[in-house]
């Protein structure tokens, strides 16, 4: 592509080619007759520039005058024709950088530190911190998960653009490192990664302990889930405290304010209620002590306390407190042991 050079309508006499040639020949003859003149000329500064600081606009004008009057679009065309800006070349450079950073993680870490915050040339004044690179321990866990799933997406089997997805987001753990365990990780492609993000509703001031396993479509609001607890699919927990090593099956509903001790088993479809007269806004939460067992489909009415090691049969409706190490069944539930 040819670039048209701007030609001014008026040309100063000293800018005419024949005059410039005469001046050049005269200067060359003077330097040849007196060699010291050339050396002194190199050392001294022009009197018009001596001791002066010019503005950026003036320096740009001087630079343009030294290079000649060029087309204002010439620089833009030069940038467009730069081979480094072509898509194919840019992708090739990106691949080379990725391979190098995979072999030399310390170089990537160093570059990340250099470009962090205001040191980053692309930084636009935001306050959001640049995410730090994963630790060596996280990389080891991630590689183990990829091997476990044969480097394939758990949903569709694709082998490209895979991510190690946290089933329970790291932000809900008291220590974010506690989220990096195998039961809380699954390998997904980017398409299904977005789908899995919407499978759980964990909101509010929820705190989750290490080793907790949550299955699909679980809703947890403002609750505390202690270590090594399992929560089945389609379960809803609101404003409650769950102890350690509990096993909560699917389709369980735990109402506001309930307190569940350690090593408790709750069967599928169980209901823990907290309001005797719906709409009264008088909450009487259920309390369950350590080691209690609730059968599938059981209903625990508001204000009931289940003692330590007590057993509630499947389908029972518990209307009164249950003593420790006793078994109750029926509707209403009665003691049989």
Report how far residue 304's alpha carbon sits from residue 294's, in angstroms, rounded to the nearest whole number: 13
Task: Answer whether 300's CB lies under 8 Å from 315's CB.
Answer: no
Respond yes or no: is residue 104 known to be catalytic: no
Report how far residue 74's alpha carbon sits from residue 76's, in angstroms, rounded to the nearest whole number: 5
Using a 10 angstrom Cβ sphere, with 0-12 exposed, 13-18 middle and 19 or more buried, the burial of residue 95 is exposed
3-state SS record for 131-171: CCCCCHHHHHHHHHHHHHCCCCCCCCCCCCCEEEEECCCHH
Dihedral pair phi/psi, residue 51, rounded to 5°? 70, 15
Strand bridging mode 271-272 / 162-166? unpaired
Report how far residue 12's alpha carbon sits from residue 115's, in angstroms, rounded to the nearest whole number: 50
Strand bridging mode 247-248 / 293-294? unpaired
The answer to whether the bond into 332 is cis (omega within 30° of 0) is: yes
Dihedral pair phi/psi, residue 128, rounded to 5°? -75, 130
Residue from 12, 46, 66, 277 carrying the catalytic annotation: 277
What are the residue numbers of the active site?
A: 277
């Amino acid at each position: 592509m040819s670039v048209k050079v701007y030609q001014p309508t008026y040309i100063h006499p000293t800018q005419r080619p024949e005059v410039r040639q005469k001046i050049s020949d005269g200067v060359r003859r003077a330097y040849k007759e007196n060699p010291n003149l050339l050396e002194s000329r190199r050392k001294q500064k022009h009197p018009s520039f001596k001791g002066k600081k010019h503005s950026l606009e003036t320096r740009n004008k001087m630079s343009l005058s030294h290079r000649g009057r060029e087309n204002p679009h010439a620089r833009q065309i030069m940038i467009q024709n730069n081979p480094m800006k072509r898509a194919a070349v840019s992708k090739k450079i990106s691949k080379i950088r990725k391979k190098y950073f995979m072999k030399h993680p310390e170089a990537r870490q160093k570059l990340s530190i250099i470009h962090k915050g205001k040191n980053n040339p692309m930084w636009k004044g935001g306050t959001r911190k640049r995410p730090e690179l994963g630790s060596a321990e996280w990389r080891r866990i991630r590689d183990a998960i990829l091997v476990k799933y044969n480097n394939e997406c758990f949903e569709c089997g694709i082998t490209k653009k895979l991510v190690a997805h946290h089933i329970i987001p790291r932000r809900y753990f008291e220590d974010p490192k506690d989220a990096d365990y195998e039961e809380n990780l699954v390998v997904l492609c980017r398409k299904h990664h977005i789908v899995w993000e919407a499978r759980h509703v964990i909101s509010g001031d929820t705190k989750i302990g290490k080793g907790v396993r949550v299955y699909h479509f679980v809703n947890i609001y403002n609750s505390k889930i202690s270590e090594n607890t399992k929560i089945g699919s389609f379960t809803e927990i609101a404003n409650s405290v769950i102890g350690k090593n509990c096993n909560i099956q699917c389709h369980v509903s735990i109402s506001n304010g309930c307190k569940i001790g350690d090593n408790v088993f709750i069967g599928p479809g169980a209901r823990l209620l907290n309001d005797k007269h719906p709409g009264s806004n008088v909450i009487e939460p259920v309390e369950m002590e350590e080691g209690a067992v609730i059968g599938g489909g059981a209903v625990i009415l508001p204000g009931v306390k289940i003692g330590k090691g007590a057993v509630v049969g499947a389908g029972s409706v518990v209307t009164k407190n249950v003593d420790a190490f006793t078994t109750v069944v029926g509707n209403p539930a009665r003691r049989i042991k």
